[in-house]
Amino acid sequence: MLKLENLHYNTTENGKIKEIIKGIDLTFDNGKTYVITGPNGSGKSTLVKLIIGILNLSQGQIYLNDLNLSPLSIDKRAKEGITFAFQKPVTFKGIKVKELLDIASGKKNNVGESCEYLASVGLCAKDYLDRNFDDKLSGGEQKRIELAMALAKGGKINIFDEPEAGIDLWSFENLTKLFSSMKTSINIIVSHQQKILELADEVIMLKDGKVERKGNYQDIKPFLSENKCRMLN
């Protein structure tokens, strides 16, 4: 279980303190998928960056079961099983895709295992295992390989920031099947897209740095248009 208690995050702009996250309390249970949505500037990406440790809390605590993650660095949180897929993946010059899958899984994968990870995201292993993970890959290819790395790691908590970005040639049906298959972990997805919202066990809507409402998709759906969330029908 992941628990957020009274999270606050402040920045300073022009000498004045600006509050971005304003006292968020949330609980995420094992084996469930959560989608965080809301208008631009509502604090979605900031919230997940606080969970993984890219940003430091101004106030509050984050617990993974009985472990307080708040004082831990991003690498120590990763060792505790937190996986994060960026909206725009980071490229690594000189590192092959197979090496990244081995690093993610913590072992040397055989060809069959590597193939399975890549096939899960719609890529053929023979075309990608020996390729460098660099800017010669398209944005969509980079995104899918990063998703394959998340699968290989098998983390306790998987966090995806707008995973649909840049994968126009790969259907949303396949993307949602991928998330539906990840049954043993806590999956937290930042997204506006209807097809991803529909698969959530719980949708969390943020507005102005606060949780405005939460519930299943049908409960939240009437309020999405009011907040001008971009949804894909």
Q: Which domain holds residue 195?
A: 1-81+156-233
Boundary residue ending a domain (127, 154, 181): 154
Task: Indicate whether 227 and 133 sit together in one domain.
Answer: no
**Based on the domain organization, do 11 and 120 belong to the same domain?**
no
Tell whether 86 is covered by a domain.
Answer: no
> What digits encode the pLDDT tens for the residues 193-217?
888 898 899 999 999 999 999 999 9
Query: C-alpha angle with apex 13: 10 to 17, nearest 5 degrees?
Result: 40
Residues 56 and 163 in one domain: yes
H/E stretch holding 51 reads: helix 44-52
Domain final residue, candidates 139, 154, 169: 154
Q: CA-CA distance, 11 to 168, in Å (whole number)?
A: 35
Model's pTM, two decimal places? 0.84
State percent of the chain over pLDDT 90: 44
- If one counts the domains in the chain, the total is 2
Distance CA 74, CA 76 (A): 6
143 & 170 share domain? no
Give the domain CATH number at 204.
3.40.50.300
Q: What is the mean pLDDT of the chain?
A: 86
Q: Other CB atoms closer than 10 Å to residue 46's CB: what's the count?
A: 18
User: Looking at the structure, do residues 149 and 178 belong to the same domain, yes or no?
Assistant: no
125-151 pLDDT tens trace: 888 999 988 878 887 788 788 888 888
